[in-house]
Chains A and B, each alone.
Chain A
Amino acid sequence: MPPVVELVDVWKEFVTGRRRVEALQAIDVAIARNEFAALLGPSGCGKSTLLNMVAGFDAPTRGRALFNGEPVRAPDPRRGVVFQEPALFPWYTVRDNLAFGPRTQGLTATQYDPKVQLFVDQVGLTGFESHYPAELSGGMKQRVGIARVLVMEPEVLLMDEPFGSLDAQTRSVMQELLLAVWERHHQTVLFVTHDIEEALLLADSVFVMTARPGRIKKRLAVDLPRPRALEVTTSPYFNEMKRDVLALIREESLRAAGER
């Protein structure tokens, strides 16, 4: 069985006017079905660019981005994206935000209503179906952002620092929620973050990236039992891994700072 998501020797260069910025170099990544992969790196290392290429928002300058062995050409509901900003449609209620995808697929209300309600419940927003995004807190908005994608039953969940703009407490709650949701569906996930603990807590494998130009420095397997809870972050194994990753990341941060 081929990997669900595969990046083969991907390079990305941005040209603005006369300036050329090398964002990604020689990226090789393969994510198997039902794997929860995290992309970990310092800010500006091109990890969001990488995710955008898997999503189909952006194309590699060189190399190939593959989905089930086929080149990615355009965004597709089978590859659901959760953005850092929740990116909800502000003129739609929570229910209508969730129904956007199914309606686009031509489903009728009787067909999608039960599923919409199911995911509203799963992300803990029962009772808020008729609220507009402006009435919700940051964490609640992000729950809608996740549920909106889950309703489409995507093969891959692409998450671009989805909890990056939340406060620490809300972030932990959301991480646990994501773990619970993942236990239920076991989607393939590509999760972008710069938070080491977050990557180790959530993922089966962590791709550590270098500072710009971004390359994959190392792929680490996280052998923590599932289902996981926040408590694993205090285990000796977790801390050992964290120390290793920290050393890798620090090397990169120093290198990036030195180059500036």
Chain B
Amino acid sequence: MATVRARSESVADAAARSAATQTGVGSARVPWFLILPLTLLVVWTVAVDRQWVTQGIVPSPVQVAKSWHRWIFGGPGLGLSPYSGTWLANVMYSARRVLEGFLLAAVVGIPLGLFIGWNRLVARVVDPSIQLLRPVPITAWLPFSIAVFGIYDASALFLIGLGAFYPIVVNTTHGVRDTNLLLLRAARMLGAGPGTILTKVVFRSALPSIFTGLRLGIGVAWTAVIVAEMIAVKSGLGYVLWDAYYVGRMDICVATMFSVGLLGFASDRILQLIARWFLRWRALEAVA
């Protein structure tokens, strides 16, 4: 058994070594990712300062930062500005809609994708319709959605759910079809029936693809929530964005854009962390 043990230790060594070289390449804790944003920030500041852009339309970074701060924490004195201290409330509106719509899309999309990938009959019946509807952008669904669901949360939920549904169902289907035939045979040979195979083999094997779909889906969900809130409901970041545009508050518009970007980024990172935990067996594969 000694040789076998040595073998597994060498795998661990390789992992340690590759981790070491990875930090080595980036060299000495330079925050490389900050270089580009900082450069853009400088260009932006200079452009506004030197009046390269039309005055009064593009706000300066400082102006945006001040308005954003006030929007988050509120300002001194009487809150004449409608945006004073309302940031968190609006973030919560949008985040809740994204979460609800996204979960709805996942709850429908993952099982449906499993069945489309697994069963040829289901694929023949359902898949063509999905592929036909998929090219219709969610923005095109707006009038229909408002007409059917009205200017309520249901309308936003429909648009977000629909937008996130497509990448989730398509990637799940793809993952199921990619399942190794040998693993299916192994499972059958060990006495597994269709139910066990679907949940313990096919689903597990499709999980990396499913997470790809979920990550794409949550991105679409943030796009959809802004579109929906701009028109179909009266709260949330999208509503603020459109409202601020109407009253000429470009500083708030820009602050909203940053907010959406950061929230989208954060939700993707959370999904990535969840995926990493579920797919920890795969991280080991990359090392070995």
Contacts and interface: CB of A to CB of B under 8 A. Distances in A.
A21 interface: no
Interface of A: 55-57, 74-77, 79-81, 83, 85, 87-92, 100-101, 104-105, 124, 126-128, 131-137, 139-140, 148-149, 152
A87 B185 contact: yes
A104 B288 contact: no
Given A131-B8, A134-B288, 6 more contacts: A74-B188, A81-B189, A127-B5, A134-B281, A140-B8, A152-B190
B37 interface: no
A101 B192 CA distance: 7
Interface of B: 1, 4-5, 7-8, 11, 180, 182-183, 185-193, 196, 200-201, 204-205, 207, 279-282, 284-285, 287-288
B280 to A, nearest CB: 8
B126 to A, nearest CB: 27
Contacts of B279: 91
A87 B8 contact: no
Which one of A85, A91, A100, A139 has the highest number of Cβ atoms from chain B below 10 Å of its Cβ?
A91
A87 B183 contact: yes
Given A90-B281, A132-B284, A135-B288, A83 B7 contact: no
Nearest to B185: A57
Contacts of B185: 55, 57, 75, 81, 83, 87
18 contacts: A76-B189, A80-B189, A81-B185, A81-B189, A87-B183, A88-B186, A89-B200, A91-B207, A100-B200, A101-B190, A105-B191, A128-B8, A132-B284, A133-B281, A134-B284, A137-B8, A139-B4, A140-B8
A225 to B, nearest CB: 28
Given A90-B281, A100-B200, A79 B4 contact: no
Given A124-B1, A131-B8, A83 B186 contact: yes
A58 to B, nearest CB: 10
B64 to A, nearest CB: 46
Contact of A135 (B8, B180, B191): B8
Nearest to B278: A91
Contact of A89 (B11, B191, B201): B201
Contact of A104 (B1, B7, B8, B190): B190
A214 to B, nearest CB: 21
Contact of B191 (A101, A128, A134, A140): A101
B15 to A, nearest CB: 9
Contact of B183 (A76, A79, A89, A149): A89
Contacts of B4: 124, 137, 139-140
A152 B1 contact: no
B189 A55 contact: yes
Question: Ordered nearest first, which 8 A-B pairs have the shortest CB separation?
Answer: A101-B190, A134-B285, A77-B191, A134-B284, A75-B188, A87-B182, A75-B189, A87-B186
Given A77-B191, A79-B189, A152-B190, A136 B8 contact: yes
Contacts of B191: 76-77, 101, 104-105, 152
Contacts of A76: 189, 191
Contacts of B182: 83, 85, 87
A20 B201 CA distance: 33
Contacts of A79: 189
Contacts of B192: 100, 104
Contacts of A55: 185, 189
A88 to B, nearest CB: 8
A158 to B, nearest CB: 9
A74 B188 CA distance: 8
Contacts of A139: 4
A87 B288 CA distance: 17
A237 to B, nearest CB: 31
Contacts of A85: 182
A140 to B, nearest CB: 6
B284 A135 contact: yes
A140 B189 contact: no
A91 B188 contact: no
A148 to B, nearest CB: 7
A79 B186 CA distance: 11
A21 B279 CA distance: 41
